[in-house]
Structure formats: C-alpha cells, structure tokens
Structure 1
Amino acid sequence: MTATPMRQFALQGAAVILVLSLAWPYFGLNAEALPWLPTSLAIGGVAFIFATLSRQPWWWRAIHAGFMPLVWFTHSQQIDPGWFLLAFVLLLLVYRGALSGQVPLYLSNKQTVAALAELLAERGPSRFLDLGAGVGSTTVPLADLLPDSHFTGYENAPLTWLVGLLLSVGRPNIRWRWDDLWQAKLGDYDVVYAFLSPVPMPKLWAKAQSEMQPGSLFISNSFPVPGLSPSRIIDVDCTPPRPLYCYQL
C-alpha cells in the first residue's frame, strides 16, 4: 500500500471500525459507558499494526499510532474549535504541497548551498530552477554567491512563497513564482534542483527527460530517481546526511 492520503484515511478508519465493533457490544450489553481513553489507545495500536503490515514509512506509523489518542486528549481539554480552524489554515498556507503532492517543506542547509554553489561555479553562469523552493533557503543565498547566474524558484504554498518573495527583494537575478512545479518548463534551464520526497521522483524524472536540453543537469537532494544510477553523487557534510544526486541529461 502506498502512502497516499486517501489510503491513510482508509487505514485509520479500518482501525476505528474494528475496535468499536468489538468494544461497543461488550460495554453496551453491560450497560457501561465506553471508556474513551483505553478505546483511543486500542485504536492507535491497531492502526499502528495495520500501518506496519502495509509497510508504511515510519512517520506514517507514528501518525497512525498517535492520532486517536491525540484526538481524545484534545477533546478532554475542551479547546475552542476556532483554534483548530486557525491551525488548519496556517498549516495549509505552509504545507500545501504535502497535501496536494505529498511534498513536505524541506529547507536546504548551508552546507548544501555551499556544495551547490561550488558545482554551479564549475559550470559557469547558469539558469537555475528550484522546484518547491520553500522560503528561498537555496535560491536566495545562491543568487548572492553567483550574481552572474539567474535563479528561479517555484513554490505553491502561499505563506512560504510570500516569505521567499520578501527575501528575494533587491536581487535582480531571482525570479520568484507562485505556481505548481509541474507547470514549470524545464527546458528553459541549465540546472534543475529539487528537494521533494520519494513519491514524485519517477514522474519528475520523466518530465525532466522529455523537457530538459542535452547537457543540462538535474539535481535531487536526498531522494534518488528510482532504478537509475546518477552521473555523480555529492556527499554533503551535514547531519542527517543529504547527498545530492546529479543526473546529466
């Protein structure tokens, strides 16, 4: 089972149905109120088992284990529903890519930027595209280090796009776009950089192959293209390790 949102809802729902179908008749026949804390813990345990059996990534297993216990805890605190709406809106503004394309917000660190700057310096002035550019943690410092190159960032989460736009002000070699990365014309760039997740990599590589020009370079931070040997791997000196997988077109 792949880690798609609808399937995760189905998995959690299956755990809820299984536990309640066993617990409700027992407590109903004994005229006892359903103990929600043990029930939520049981649902979390069953959901964790389902997630493990379906070989979900570790973070999905943790989410499934803790979801219902957190629902019980939150309900017991009697928190005003308005706070949940506010939290949802803020999360949507920052993590829209995780909802629409299973691409969470990753920020490139200084060591990665230094490695990319060295690689770009070897190639000379370039047209660099950052797919899922976040707040500009890659694009902005690279534009400062390499003023002869031109940098474009694509970001579809409104709040992170706005932060990146503000940070790019005063840098004429940056073009900052609020757009879906799948709408980018990769053939307009010499170097395309992505720090996404394993999920979109096969589709993104197919797009790169069909659009990028011969001699251009596709770079993926941390997540290699499945089944394809990179032309070069740059080991970035950081913790946790974040290798750069480079694919020459």
Structure 2
Amino acid sequence: MRQFALQGAAVILVLSIAWPYFGWKAEAMPWLQTCLAIGSVALVFATLSRQPWWWRVIHAAFMPLIWLTHSFAIDPGWFLLAFVLLLLVYRGALSGQVPLYLSNKQTVVALAELLAEREAPHFLDLGAGVGSTTVPLADLLPDGHFTGYENAPLTWLLGRILSLGRHNIHWRWEDLWQANLAEYDVVYAFLSPTPMPDLWAKVQAEMQPGSLFVSNSFPVPGATPNRIIEVDCQPPRPLYCYQI
C-alpha cells in the first residue's frame, strides 16, 4: 500500500499540473512526456521516503513502461491470461506475501543429512511449491514420511504430478496455516521474512518437544537458532534450525 500511495501521489501531482496547462492551451496531452514526468516524480518520492533501490527503479520505470505497453496495442485478453497464469503460480505472494522459491540440490542434500539423524522422520514442507524439496527427499530417504502443503493451483498440480508413484509423499492442496504441526517431527519452510513471526508462534504452540523447525534463508526474529547449516550455494541460503 505504501508503494501504491507513492506512485499515486506522483500521478496526482503531475496530472494536476499537466491537465490544466494543456487544457488551457487546447492541446493534446503528450502522454510519453507525461509518463516520464510521473516516473521522475515517483523516483523523487521513493528516494525521499528512503525506499530500497529496487523500489526506486520500479517507481521510475512503472508509468513509462505502461505507456510503452499501451503503444503496442496488445489485445486485453492477453493481459487477462497473464494475470490468471500468475495467480495460479503466485497465489501465495498475493495472499500471504510468500513468493515461489525453489530449493536447490545443495539444500536438499543438507536436509537429507539432517533427516538421516532421525529414524523414519515425518517431514512437512510448508509452501512446498512444485516439490523441489519434498520429491528428492522422498527418493533419498524411502523410509521417511513426507508431506507438502501448497495452495497455488498450478504449482500444486505440478508437484502432484512429480510426486506420483512415491508412496511416502502426501501432497496436499491447502493453506500452510491449516497444517497441524504436531503431526511432524521436522517442519521446513522457505517463505519470506513477513510471515515468520506468526509462523514461529504457530510452531511454538503446536510442535512437540524434541521436534525440529528449519527455515531456509529467513531466521525467526528474536529467536536464536540451535544450529545454522551453511549450504554451499550461491546466493547463500543458510538453514536456521530451531529445536523445540
């Protein structure tokens, strides 16, 4: 909402000057120059409000890119299709500010070594995506029990297809907040900083003593991990391990 407000303020400021000016002169609005002006003002607003550099780039380019896209005269149906496809894949980003992250092979190996310390572990992947963690772990540890929660329809479907034939995988199309964490002795999450405080409260309320919560890349604010596993990959993706 903050970013919408900054961009909206830039639009209102520029148009409140441009419309009366060109209306008084009875001239057509030069939309390219207007969009460039809006982008410049939005950049100034984003800089003054100390937004991260990448938000400043987005603010500067947003309206000029809208003008460029409009100039292509693309059929609106394509935008609707793109929106539907993005919603099917990135529903978590819209509903819970959790984008789609795919765990790499090095992370899977590190998790497999961690799970090997437990006999027949019951492992839960919260926000399992397409199964990039759950599926290879199930292959590496056939005696384990693996569950994936995913609420984006298309990524759930891809993960369901990839998990076919693996009887030690339970693939569920549900919101991660509906999971009963007490059923698992290892819970893994690769989400974002935003949900971590609420997720940690859920972990503490539901997980059993002796169980393990593992967060990829994003530590729990205010909590000290019992162990940090440095995964040999770029960019760095440490595993923060919290013993319950």
Please give the TM-score of this superposition, normalised by the length of structure 2: 0.95
Q: CA RMSD in A?
A: 1.5
Aligned to 1:118: 113
Q: Show the counterpart of 1:39.
A: 34
- 2:70 paired with 1:102: no
The reply on whether 1:236 has 2:228 as its aligned counterpart is no
1:202 aligns with 2:197: yes
Match of 2:212 among 208, 217, 225: 217
Residue 51 (structure 2) pairs with residue 51 (structure 1): no
Opposite residue 160 of structure 2, the aligned amino acid is: L
Worse overlay, 221-230 or 177-186: 221-230
Q: In structure 2, what is the Cα distance between the partners aligned to 1:50 and 1:121?
A: 52
Q: CA deviation at 1:57?
A: 4.3
Does residue 86 (structure 1) correspond to residue 81 (structure 2)? The answer is yes
Deviation at 1:55, TM superposition (A): 4.2
| Distance (whole Å) between structure 2 residues aligned to residue 163 and residue 157 of structure 1 | 10
* Aligned equivalents of 1:134, 1:120: Cα separation in 2: 20
Give 3-state SS (helix, strand or coil) of 2:90's partner.
helix
What secondary structure is seen at the aligned counterpart in 1 of 2:116?
A: helix
Look up the match of 2:169. Answer: 174
The number of aligned residues is 244
**What's the counterpart of residue 184 of structure 2?**
189
- TM superposition shift of 1:59: 4.1
What amino acid sits opposite 1:208 in the alignment? V
Q: 1:226 aligns with which of 209, 213, 221?
A: 221
CA shift in 2, pair 1:52/1:113, >3 Å:
farther
Query: Which of the numbers 23, 26, 38 marks the counterpart of 2:21?
Result: 26
Aligned position for 2:2: 7
Matched to 2:166, the amino acid is R
AA partner of residue 232 (structure 1): R
C-alpha displacement at 1:16, in angstroms? 1.1
Distance in 1 of aligned mates of 2:152 and 2:176: 11
Report which stretch shifted further, 42-51 or 132-141.
42-51
Rounded to whole Å, the distance in 2 between the matches of 1:176 and 1:223 is 24
Residues 8-57 of structure 1: CA deviation (Å, up to 9, x unaligned): 32332122112211222222233332221122122223323333444444
Matched, 1:72 2:67: yes
Q: Distance in 2 between matches of 1:182 and 1:135?
A: 18
Instruction: Summarize the Cα distance change of 1:55–1:248 in structure 2 as closer, same or farther, 3 Å threshold.
Output: farther
Q: Which residue of 2 aligns with 1:147?
A: 142
> What is the TM-score normalised by the length of structure 1?
0.93
